[in-house]
Amino acid sequence: MVRKIMDKNRKNIVIIGGGFAGLQLAKDLKKSNYNVTLIDKNNYHTFQPLLYQVATGGLRVDSIAYPLRKVFRGASNIRFVMDEVLEIDTLRNNVTTKNNIIPFDYLVIATGSGVNYFKLDDSKNLMMTLKNPQDALKIRSYILQNFEQAYKTDDPAEQEVLMNIAIAGGGPTGVELAGAIAEMKKFIFPKNYPGLDVSKMRIALFEAGPKLLGPMSDGASTKSLQYLQGFGVEVYLNAAVDHYDGDHLKVSNGMEMNTKTLIWTAGVKGVFPDGLDHQDVVKGSRLVVDGYNRVKTYNHIFAVGDVALMASEEYPKGHPMLATVAIQQAQNLAANFKYLDKDKDMTAFEYKDKGTMATIGRNRAVVDLPFWHFQGAFAWYVWIFVHIFSIVGFKNKLSALWDWAYNFFTYDRAVQLIINPFVRPDQASDKKNIEEESLPTRY
């Protein structure tokens, strides 16, 4: 039972997913002539571009997560339901969740993307991913746990496999994560683990394509490569990870590496509930939509953000899976719902490219604006300003700014705690020892 009473004379819009697209759409439909139900399995919105900062101890997790209920306080036509959608019934026009059956007149799928392991699906339990706050906290704990173990052993081979870190995927997440870990190697680990020869730690980034930051300019790609190599990161292009057994990985170019930490950022695919026509699903598990974000087979079901593929002459393979695309599609769809309420024609979506950016450590960033590409310290300050402005919640903005200032002036990391030790499934036998050595569960 969903408790908030809605106006029975209004049509019902159900939005699945509280990411960038779902949140923006619900916000833009405040005070509209619709009942809006937003469903998400978590009760918070995550600012995903900064997950790597949580994973490397630069930010607290509550700096990039914001309660969804707090966003919609006082919005009489909006209700939030924390639940997991299991299936969409397109004949009866309702969604089935674990605890409810929720009817809709219009349905919007804003479920985003999940991890695509490609041919390494059998090894997915051995790898780390970075799609949500839980992933970020697991990475942070696991890296610190491995260093604690390396500190206690005199076996060079064991130290090597514990300290080495491999990252698969040279997109923004992989590049930014590699830069942040390299800063930890330079400034944090030598101070925290005296006597441990951190110089022997290897950080390797593997990209299957010919350049880093594929969608960005050649200048941004070249500069990011220079920045990473200047930090001591080993970067391998045209090199896909072919095999990983939890301790040892093999790469398509013949290279091999010993490491217990492989962080997978190499691929994504759309995720959405069961129930839709299979002909609407294309490669990458994305839903084919028209210029108004309507799912191909239906007039009353829409998809926005990463899960939607809107092919056009300019974007024959669909728009890039970026937050700016998701937000703009949501804004356009909200306007179209208001047009529909007034029996007016809808407006087709047009993407306005506002640019992309990535940071590779302090004073090192690359920015591609539509008519201006630049790198370096100024780009880094632009990156900070844009991300502080984009974080949801004033308190979160201040918290992130404070942690970044602390990191900048002290050459340290704000959060270096192993709160909930992470145990890989294949290492479950070691769980008891790890738990006994971990810190108490309190901040």
Report whether 216 contacts 209 (CB < 8 A): no
pLDDT band at 434 (very low <50, low <70, confident <90, very high): very low
- Under DSSP, is residue 72 helix (H, G, I), strand (E, B) or coil? coil
Crossing angle between the packed helical segments 172-183 and 218-230, to the nearest 10 degrees = 20
Integer Cα distance of 4 and 404 in angstroms: 40
| The pLDDT value given to residue 154 | 92
What are the C-alpha distances in Å from 278 to residues 19, 274, 286, 372? 24, 10, 11, 42
**How would you classify the pairing of strands 261-264 and 65-67?**
unpaired
Segment 204-222 mean pLDDT: 95
| Longest pairwise C-alpha distance within the chain | 74
Helices (runs of H) and strands (runs of E) counted in the chain: 12, 26
Segment 28-43 mean pLDDT: 96
| The pLDDT value given to residue 437 | 45
Phi and psi at residue 437, to the nearest 5°: -95, -5
The class that CATH gives domain 11-115+269-341 is alpha beta
Residue of 271, 280, 272, 298 whose CA lies nearest to 104 = 298
Percent of the chain residues topping a pLDDT of 90: 77
For the cut 70, the answer to whether the pLDDT of residue 432 exceeds it is no
**Sequence-separated (6 or more) residues with CB below 8 Å from residue 352:** 328
| The pLDDT value given to residue 5 | 59
| The pLDDT value given to residue 429 | 60
DSSP state of 236: E
**Which of 1-5, 107-111, 143-147, 197-201 has the weakest average pLDDT?**
1-5
Catalytic residue at 234?
no
pLDDT digits (tens, 9 = 90+) for 312-365: 989 999 999 999 999 999 999 999 999 999 999 999 999 999 899 999 988 999
pLDDT digits (tens, 9 = 90+) for 99-130: 999 999 999 999 999 999 998 999 999 999 99
| The pLDDT value given to residue 239 | 96
Query: Where do the domains of the chain lie?
Result: 11-115+269-341, 118-266
Integer Cα distance of 342 and 335 in angstroms: 11
Integer Cα distance of 265 and 287 in angstroms: 22
Segment 72-82 mean pLDDT: 94
22 sits in which H/E element: helix 20-28
| The pLDDT value given to residue 406 | 79
Spell out the alpha helix ranges (H) of 200-322. Answer: 218-230
Segment 217-244 mean pLDDT: 96
* DSSP one-letter string for 148-189: HHHHH---HHHHHHHH-EEEE--SHHHHHHHHHHHHIIIIIH
pLDDT band at 206 (very low <50, low <70, confident <90, very high): very high
Tokens for 324?
């700016």
The pTM of the full predicted model, rounded to 2 decimals, is 0.91
pLDDT digits (tens, 9 = 90+) for 300-314: 999 999 999 999 989
For the cut 50, the answer to whether the pLDDT of residue 409 exceeds it is yes
Q: Do domains 11-115+269-341 and 118-266 have the same CATH topology?
A: yes
Tokens for 379?
């780009």
pLDDT band at 402 (very low <50, low <70, confident <90, very high): confident
| 416 or 428, higher pLDDT | 416
| The pLDDT value given to residue 2 | 63
Sign of CA dihedral 281, 287, 293, 294: positive
Tokens for 30?
């405040």
Place of tokens 């632009």: 382
For the cut 90, the answer to whether the pLDDT of residue 33 exceeds it is yes
**Which of 32-46, 231-245, 274-288, 331-345 has the weakest average pLDDT?**
274-288
Residue of 65, 6, 9 whose CA lies nearest to 38 = 6
CATH code for the domain defined by 118-266: 3.50.50.100
Catalytic residue among 84, 87, 160, 176: 176
**Sequence-separated (6 or more) residues with CB below 8 Å from residue 74:** none
Sign of CA dihedral 188, 189, 193, 194: negative
| The pLDDT value given to residue 440 | 38
Tokens for 325?
């695309």
Q: How many CB atoms lie within 10 A of CB 4?
A: 12
Phi and psi at residue 67, to the nearest 5°: -65, 130
